[in-house]
Homo-oligomer: A and B are copies of this chain.
Amino acid sequence: MTGERRLGRPRSQATRAAILAAALAELDERGYAALTIDGIARRAGCGKQTIYRWWSSKADVVLESLLERAETAIQLPDEGSLPDDLMAFLKATFAQRGQRPTLIGLMAQALLDPAFAAEFKEKFLFKRRDALRVLLDRAVARGEIAAGTDVELLIDIVYGVLWYRFILEHAPLDDELGERLTALLIKASR
């Protein structure tokens, strides 16, 4: 039942880990644009084929590396009120600024490659939308925001502003932004 044991030599978990680690290391040292499959393989001490066997692109490798990082996990706060929940959520999100190079690279890849875009949305972007939706739905249930409120638009505003500033870097992603954004959303949705 649990079976599914495939024939032949099983996938090497050590190699898998080495590849993910190598990808992150290359990313840190050289940046996303300079990432190459050759380079990852060389650093991981594995053959290129092994990478191609399990991932479809370098972005795929990076996405998996990213998702394995503990700090990328989504926090779902429950502070009792929307403003507090939102602030906690935004603070947790802002705290991941260190991932910028990686996230920016993945977004670039998503823009250039529709297949990867689908995967990036499914495994990353939409998961975060889902988390935020939980907070907002809770607020609707509590009556903190009006029943007819377009929750999807609120989500778009939060992530739209976040990504827009994340990409352009013309203004900071800090607590002050969190407070102003929270205040604005609540005022707009009462």
Show the binding face of A for B, using Cβ within 8 Å: 32-33, 104-105, 107-108, 110-113, 121, 125-126, 150, 152-153, 156-157, 159-165, 167-168, 170-171, 177, 180-181, 184-185, 187-188
Contacts and interface: CB of A to CB of B under 8 A. Distances in A.
B111 A167 contact: yes
B33 A184 contact: no
Does more than half of chain A's interface fall in helix, strand or loop, or is it mixed?
A: helix
B108 A112 contact: yes
A160 B170 contact: no
A19 to B, nearest CB: 19
Q: How many copies does the complex hold?
A: 4
A131 B104 CA distance: 27
Nearest to A161: B160
Contacts of A171: 152, 156
B150 A159 contact: no
A151 to B, nearest CB: 12
A180 B153 contact: yes
Contacts of A157: 157, 160-161, 184
23 contacts: A32-B112, A33-B113, A107-B111, A108-B108, A110-B167, A111-B111, A121-B168, A150-B180, A152-B171, A153-B177, A153-B181, A156-B164, A156-B165, A156-B171, A157-B157, A157-B184, A160-B162, A160-B163, A160-B164, A161-B161, A163-B167, A187-B187, A188-B188
